[in-house]
Structure 1
């Protein structure tokens, strides 16, 4: 395997690094990380030590964003939005309600499973 070591005191420690990605993890990836850390600690530690955690969190983030877009489109078809110019506060309340509905589905199916 060709590992290199460094001496610290009387002990040899391997030179190990974890590859980190440059992509930023968004809201859903961070929620997934918190869920794994608190509820699936063995899986979290295993993924972190093997360097697969960031890739997993980025995949969850990407999938969650795609599902949010699809769900919002479907919800807008089922529950059409009010006229934004006539009543902007009612339009905002309606859109917030649809966003909350879509996020609940995404969180239960991706972040908290």
Structure 2
């Protein structure tokens, strides 16, 4: 059994407990993880608070970010293959290749956002 001594601070007429959140590991979270964090803060407040107070928020965001990156990469490869966007096209017509790849990346990002981030 752990010794959990609670200390209090006087605030006017009240004694308030000195509570601290569990330490979160310092991890760099990617763009998809940051988007998910903003979504949770704004739209899923209970889930956000539960993850935060249990000390699981960073691990959760890291996992979501990794899943989203993998899904994004897989979608870009599949869409490029399906639409014939190849290295040969890149060598022959760079501007067309860039246009098509930008379109593919935008669509893949929208799918990832819809399926994983804002769900």
TM-score relative to the length of structure 2: 0.82
- Bigger CA radius of gyration: 2
Instruction: Tell me the matched-pair count.
Output: 113
Shift of 1:23: 2.1
CA separation in 2, counterparts of 1:78 and 1:58? 30
Give distance in 2, aligned partners of 1:32 and 1:21.
18
State TM-score, norm by structure 1.
Answer: 0.86
Q: Which residue of 2 aligns with 1:41?
A: 45
Q: Which secondary structure does the structure 2 equivalent of 1:48 belong to?
A: helix
Q: Structure 1: which 5+ residue stretches go unaligned?
A: none
Question: Partner of 1:22 in structure 2?
Answer: 26
Shift >3 Å, 4+ stretches: 4-17
Q: 1: distance between equivalents of 2:116 and 2:23?
A: 24
CA RMSD of aligned residues (A): 1.9
Q: Distance in 2 between matches of 1:80 and 1:21?
A: 43
